[in-house]
Amino acid sequence: MKKYLSLVTFSHTIFAMPFAFIGFFLAVNTTQNTFSWFKLGLMLLCMVFARNAAMAFNRYLDRDIDAKNPRTKVRDIPAGRISATNALVFTLVNGAFFIAATWFINPLCFYLSPVALLVVLGYSFTKRFTALCHLVLGLGLSLAPIGAYLVVTGEFALLPILFSLAVLCWVSGFDIMYALQDEAFDKQEKLHSIPSYLGTHKALLVSNILHVFAALFVIAPLFFTPLSWPYYMGLTVFIGMLIYQHQLVKPNNLSRINFAFMTTNGIASVAFAACFLLDIYYRSL
């Protein structure tokens, strides 16, 4: 179990999972649909299965690249802790479980499940042909809030799309920052990324711009639904963490990338979601 949790970097669920809770409880709070433990459980299962499939497939597809990169050669497949075949089987099983879980939710989620898998699995191919791979990763994680909203309602709406756009810009921005570590390696292996295409300075500028848009998209819901002081607290923390991580990572000093990537973004997502849920509770009193 530890090997497979390591394979899928389970700790990174801290990025998208909080936004799935936002999408789920946004639907419960703003529509006529009532809370259901059954649907919440299915939503969580879908999140876990889809992410497991995506991460395992990424490790499977990139196993030869990872073996060449000094930073990634310690990952489970290059290090021999999990075989490539087992990783592929794990991908297929989780993908099948994801589609099966959506069957019990509603027809729209079931019909869209192959599309969602295509996005999250397709990301792994993108670094081979486009520097926009970071945006595809962001798109994959951005499915969390809108997908969770669909679990409850079976219908699209503007508010969850705003949160999804925030996730897309936020994740794409910090993935560009994370990819700075592999700029030289990507150039050597002819892999595509914003840092390898634009260089460190311009890549950080693109990351900054994306995070400005992420901030705007989390501010936008204020104009479409009543929100109170806990949400403003969440905004402050989320935007503050965006600013802080850009203070940590400079073109001439990349030593704190891992801290900026994991810690600041983990705090941003968890605190923002917690404040959103507190806002719902406060307004229900």
pLDDT score of 192: 95
More confident residue, 65 or 8: 65
Q: Going by C-beta distance under 8 Å and a sequence separation of 6 or more, which residues neighbour residue 72?
A: 62, 65, 66, 78
At 245-285, the pLDDT tens digits run: 999 998 888 888 887 777 899 999 999 999 999 999 887 76
CA distances from 232 to 12, 218, 220, 242, 244 (A): 25, 10, 12, 15, 18
Report residue 77's pLDDT band, with 50, 70 and 90 as the boundaries: confident
Report residue 15's pLDDT band, with 50, 70 and 90 as the boundaries: confident
What ranges do the domains of the chain cover? 2-284
pLDDT score of 162: 97
pLDDT score of 81: 86
More confident residue, 77 or 209: 209
Average pLDDT over residues 212-227: 95
Residue 142 has pLDDT above 60, yes or no: yes
pLDDT score of 188: 93
Residue 204 has pLDDT above 70, yes or no: yes
At 148-197, the pLDDT tens digits run: 999 999 999 999 999 999 999 999 999 999 999 999 999 999 999 999 99
Cβ atoms 28, 152 nearer than 8 A: yes
Average pLDDT over residues 127-132: 95
Q: Which pair of structure tokens corresponds to residue 177?
A: 């920052």
Residue 208 has pLDDT above 90, yes or no: yes
Superfamily per CATH, domain 2-284: UbiA prenyltransferase (1.10.357.140)
Which has the closest alpha carbon to 84: 28, 158, 7? 7
What DSSP letter does each residue of 232-249 carry, written as one string? HHHHHHHHHHHHHHHHH-
Residue 211 has pLDDT above 90, yes or no: yes
Question: What are phi and psi for residue 62, nearest 5 degrees?
Answer: -95, 10
pLDDT score of 255: 84
At 224-249, the pLDDT tens digits run: 988 999 999 999 999 999 999 999 99
Residue 8 has pLDDT above 60, yes or no: no
At 17-56, the pLDDT tens digits run: 999 999 999 999 999 999 999 999 999 999 999 999 999 9
Quickly count: other Cβ atoms within 10 Å of residue 59's Cβ: 26
Buried b or exposed e, range 62-93, using 16+ CB within 10 angstroms = bbebbeebeebeebbbbeeebeeebbeebbee
What DSSP letter does each residue of 80-113 carry, written as one string? TSS-HHHHHHHHHHHHHHHHHHHHTT-HHHHHHH
